[in-house]
Amino acid sequence: MKELDDVQNEPDDRNLPIDRVGVKALRYPVEIKDKSNLIQSTVATVSLAVDLPRHYKGTHMSRFVETLNAHGPQLSVRDMSAIPLELLNRLGAERAHVVFDFPFFLSKKAPATGAVGLMDYQVGFELEAYREEVDFMLRVEVPVTTLCPCSKAISSRGAHNQRGIVTFGVRFGEPIWIEDLIGLVESCASSQLYSLLKRPDEKEVTQRAYDNPVFVEDLVRNVAVKFDAQPNILWYRIEAENFESIHNHNAYAMIVKESPES
């Protein structure tokens, strides 16, 4: 059988390296251990990429998928952490960037009746390998309720509130529970959200939000104070976006804590 041409390995004369090249939107089953020692089986959307030196025309796309599939029908957190280094070896690269995005579920009791429902949170593991070092960042999106302090101050009958999203990324020393970080963020909002509410619960959530008004500025500052009190959190980026109920725009704020060595 005639040997097929390897076009990817042909030289390129444009003298331009590529920072990241690879595959995106690849779905794969993963297993996540939660704080109650249960294993959550979920499906991640995966991105895998490496750098490409200036003298190569292309990369070998099939090797990204091969690396992922080599771990079997389901990935654990340990498997995910190993993949960036494996990509470096398979593709002869200096940098590898891997992202796993997946829904993470928590069982929550409604505040008045105790009715139980599942809440989902979007979680991301972002891993970057440079030579033999691997950087790991945990990213979580936490939906919350916020009530406007200004609206409450100037209105005699109620105040506008809305759902918002707090998106945070953290780097940490020792292993950290996703549930604990979600709880810290939810405690900083006007109210947390629930998937199941009966009428007494709706009353409780509405009144709780009214008693705890926060701007997006308050929200990111509240979360930053909580994170600063956690010595295990080495770096963070906190973003809050309110989907405004009376404006034709969203409100937004961000705080970033730089790494100690930066």
Q: What is the CATH number of the domain that holds 18?
A: 3.10.270.10
Residue 244 falls within a domain, yes or no? Answer: yes
pLDDT of residue 120: 97
Residue 9 falls within a domain, yes or no? Answer: no
> Is 7's pLDDT higher than 70?
no
Residue 157 falls within a domain, yes or no? Answer: yes
> Could you tell me if 11 and 56 are in contact, meaning their C-beta atoms sit under 8 angstroms apart?
yes
pTM: 0.91
Tell me which of 186 and 2 has the higher pLDDT: 186
Residue 5 falls within a domain, yes or no? Answer: no
Residue 193 falls within a domain, yes or no? Answer: yes
How many structural domains comprise the chain? 1
Residue 84 falls within a domain, yes or no? Answer: yes
Residue 8 falls within a domain, yes or no? Answer: no
Q: Which DSSP symbol is given to 4?
A: P
| Average pLDDT rounded to a whole number, residues 11-15 | 78
Residue numbers of the domain that contains 93:
14-257
Beta strands in 115-232 (DSSP E): 116-130, 133-147, 161-172, 191-192
Residue 197 falls within a domain, yes or no? Answer: yes
